[in-house]
Structure 1
Amino acid sequence: MSAADASVVLDVQGLHVDIPTGSGVVHPVRDVSFQVRRGETLCIVGESGCGKSMTSLALMGLLPRAAVRKARAMNFLGEDLTRADPKRINVLRGDRMAMVFQEPMTALNPAYTIGEQLMEHYRHHRGASAAQARERAIELLQKVGIASAGERLRQYPHQLSGGLRQRVMIAMALMCGPELLIADEPSTALDVTIQAQILRLLADLQKELGIAMVLITHDLGVVARIADRVAVMYAGQVVEEGSAQEIFERPRHPYTRGLLECIPVPGRTMPGSRLGSIPGVVPPLAGELRGCSFRERCPHAQAACTQAIELRDGGAGRRWRCVIDLEAVPA
């Protein structure tokens, strides 16, 4: 990696995930490319079924057994993950790259105490003693805002609330001081008040520790609060990418504009007014996909949309996959 690219923690180029089934091959991730720099938060956003979570699992090497991952390159701190053997991936996973899963009750083992799960993780990767692992676990539980950390180590997951379990998951991900944190919808299973606390915690920890973070979400409100850069996914593809400010102020893809029109804007959306909607459903991802996957739902579709559409480069990391100039089309 050149000196100019030294800040790039993760560089993904041409990622594909294919899953063979009895009715054909499903393509949940198709030619996805993005970069994440040190201290940066990249939000991957899109509706359910667009390939966000499958992308995160592909990065961590946690895909279903039948899934096939291909990529031109997946460079993590200069190391190509596509060429790393399973043993090397196991060394990196949980140590230098870590993940916070969507549902902490299923991610934590109900048969072991919180302390056992935190300490085993640290001892495995760091070769630490039990006393050192316990000290580190208490330190991280305190850092994520859990009081009486020493007592919590003796508790089981079912003895903690959903918000506390998610804080434990964040502490577990940070135990070894990773340089990349992937958070897959970390606030979805929580109530609104706890969601805000967890997102604020992630943002504060990311700034304090200077780690690169990939946040998977379908909530544009979350994106507005936490993202530096945004990649919008639809039907397995990145259809638009740019800074959070550019995405919200100047969407260049009809799908991104449609998503933004579906959420109320304080001070602009009048009480009782009708919010926008996107008609239709996401196309099936099995078999060969031709042209723009959004064309059947797009109000601006034209004949050219049936052909393959490459990402247009607007410079400074601004890209979109559309044949029209959306800025010339009134909202």
Structure 2
Amino acid sequence: MADNLLTVRNLSVDIRTSSGTLHAVRDISFEVKRGETLCIVGESGCGKSMTSLAIMDLLPKAAKRNASEIRFDNMELHNKKKTIASLRGDRLSMIFQEPMTALNPAYTIGDQLTEGFRRHRNSGMKEAQQRAEYLLHKVGIASARERLSQYPHQLSGGLRQRVMIAMALMCGPELLIADEPTTALDVTIQAQILLLLSELREEFGISLILITHDLGVVARIADRVAVMYAGQIIEEGPVADIFNDPRHPYTSGLLNCIPLPGKTVPGGKLGVIPGVVPSLIGDIEGCAFRDRCAFAQAQCHQNPPVNQLAQHSWRCIYKEAAHANTH
């Protein structure tokens, strides 16, 4: 569609290991519209971060990416390393999961903020520093000019994450990928960072892919949600549909793990999903969730169909939601 900023079709990521090939991402497809926030949610190890790294072409050497299409603003990026290198850090930016390891401890905050801007905009140091100071102020950092001469270890975790956000915004990106940007922060700072991302998206008209395992975060910020399990997107749709009418048993199980004010009895037990995520090494057949699913049947050993209802899709043999919607 014309209003899609990013289109991904049939993306897979395979990683060579001593035990065999790990199928980290398995044939996923999705779109991100202009100005939209897509949240990719799922348990740790389900392929969320690998998906973001594949889009940015930042996968480890042992990983191999395959896709029929990765298109950004009508530019094909798959197997176009020079094209994506020219976009990365400019029109495409990423906030990494842990700011202390993403920031170089040997360089000042100012050096790291201005490097990409000077490269992509061919600007002088003065202009780059002015841009950096403006964005540090924009993301809520006081005494922005003084911060430029400081090193990462001199900043708190919350300030380092704000620096990472400012760095991602230096060149005015159209698409921002945030890979669990609040994981290492305390609850109060998490809320501040999420509010900041939401405000920046509105102000600068950015499309946002937010990767998280926190459904509370999803409820506050998402327009659409893609639920991943074992390297696949098993359900996708508008945030209201996912929360109010989950169609896949795994999505329903995730929602049942969340305490609800006024409904969850204090001290009562929350829902759990029994079992563990299956190994993604070697051949995978049928529904990967079947061994943990209370509704599994013999046909779940075959690849499940993708059901579609308006903008809501889910990968399950069941077309109806009554069995899964226990939340």
The one of 304, 311, 314 equivalent to 1:309 is 304
- 1:10-29 aligned at under 5 Å gives the runs 10-29=6-25
Q: Per-residue CA shift, 1:141-193, capped at 9, x if unaligned?
A: 11101111100000000000000000000000000000000000000000110
2:315 paired with 1:321:
yes
> Please, which moves more after superposition, 263-272 or 65-74?
263-272
**Alignment match, 1:128:** 123
The offset of 1:327, in angstroms, is 2.1
**Alignment match, 1:245:** 240
- 1:169-208 aligned at under 5 Å gives the runs 169-208=164-203
**Alignment match, 1:71:** 67
Amino acid at match of 1:285: L
Q: Give SS of 1:327's match.
A: coil
Counterpart Cα distance in 2 of 1:9 and 1:83: 19
Counterpart Cα distance in 2 of 1:60 and 1:24: 25
**Alignment match, 2:78:** 82
2:149 paired with 1:154:
yes
**Alignment match, 2:46:** 50
Counterpart Cα distance in 2 of 1:184 and 1:326: 32
Counterpart Cα distance in 1 of 2:138 and 2:305: 44
2:262 paired with 1:272:
no
The offset of 1:206, in angstroms, is 0.6
Counterpart Cα distance in 2 of 1:14 and 1:177: 29
Q: RMSD in angstroms over aligned alpha carbons? A: 0.9
Counterpart Cα distance in 1 of 2:73 and 2:38: 16
Q: Give SS of 1:270's match.
A: coil
Q: Give SS of 1:328's match.
A: coil
The offset of 1:87, in angstroms, is 2.4
**Alignment match, 2:98:** 103
Q: Specify every segment of 5 or more residues in structure 1 that has no aligned partner in the other structure, as ranges.
A: none
Q: Specify every segment of 5 or more residues in structure 2 that has no aligned partner in the other structure, as ranges.
A: none
Counterpart Cα distance in 1 of 2:168 and 2:305: 36
Amino acid at match of 2:322: A
Amino acid at match of 2:266: P
Normalised to the residue count of structure 2, the TM-score between the two structures is 0.98
2:29 paired with 1:33:
yes
Amino acid at match of 1:257: S
Counterpart Cα distance in 1 of 2:183 and 2:78: 30
**Alignment match, 1:222:** 217
8 Å contact from structure 1 (residues 254, 326) kept in 2? no
Amino acid at match of 2:155: L
The offset of 1:301, in angstroms, is 0.2
8 Å contact from structure 1 (residues 224, 244) kept in 2? yes
Q: Give SS of 2:281's match.
A: coil
Normalised to the residue count of structure 1, the TM-score between the two structures is 0.97
Amino acid at match of 2:218: V
8 Å contact from structure 2 (residues 307, 319) kept in 1? no
Counterpart Cα distance in 1 of 2:283 and 2:143: 55
Counterpart Cα distance in 2 of 1:51 and 1:220: 17
The offset of 1:326, in angstroms, is 4.5
- 1:225-236 aligned at under 5 Å gives the runs 225-236=220-231
Report the count of equivalent residues: 325
